[in-house]
Amino acid sequence: MSPKSNQKNAGSKVPVPARWRRDVEKVLITERQIARRVKSLARQIERDYQGREILVIALLNGTVLFLADLIRHLNLPLRLDFIGVSSYGSGVTSGDLVFTKELRLDVRGRDVLLVDDILDTGKTLSRVLPKMQILKPRRIRTCVLLDKPSRRVEKIAPDYVGFTIPDAFVVGYGLDFSERYRNLPFIGVLRPHIYKELGGDAGLIHGA
């Protein structure tokens, strides 16, 4: 499946706020651009699910800010649940996926919208989607804030995409590095020296 229309390519010339300049190389997507795009995604989802209740399932933890803004704009009956997936590996590189939280709600026969912060290699969704299918939902669609297709190793294509981004390590608006930077209101590119100190590179760290 291909992403829904109105997908935007990321790019911004807004300067990095002074307090973040030591760690963040540039602002890739501004707070205003994010807000506008999230509203647009909500409208697309409403049209596709018109007249139906949806079960929104979010992957923890990076989706929290995106999820909160998205569902505030959804004028649909919905239920909300979470699934936890963590990647354990050496240092900052991605390793084996482990489910850290299981679903609480019944998925059978429901319209499911699976929400994630970033689609990178596709390894996470390639594990989560089959797990969801076993539970026999009526339909599953996927929504990601960021899509980084240049790193894809699994044949995964999201149904809704906020922004397509280049091969860079990004933080902010829920995305982290070593559990830092989630609170940035924008999405920025992390300076290489920050993650190289831990022996990683931009392509290896996300791995989602």
Q: Which residues pair with 140 in a beta bridge?
A: 112
Range 119-141 burial, b when 16+ CB lie within 10 A, else e: bbbbbbbeebeeebeeeebeebb
In tens, the pLDDT along 106-160 reads: 999 999 999 999 999 999 999 999 999 999 999 999 999 999 999 999 999 999 9
Cβ neighbours around 18 below 10 Å, total: 7
Which of 69, 116, 120, 159 is flagged as catalytic? 120
pLDDT at 4: 55
**Tokens 């949806």 -> residue:** 54
Confirm whether 69 is a catalytic residue: no
Which domains, ranges and CATH numbers included, belong to the chain?
32-166 (3.40.50.2020)
Q: Which position has the higher pLDDT, 87 or 69?
A: 69
Q: Which position has the higher pLDDT, 44 or 12?
A: 44
Q: Is the pLDDT of residue 68 over 50?
A: yes
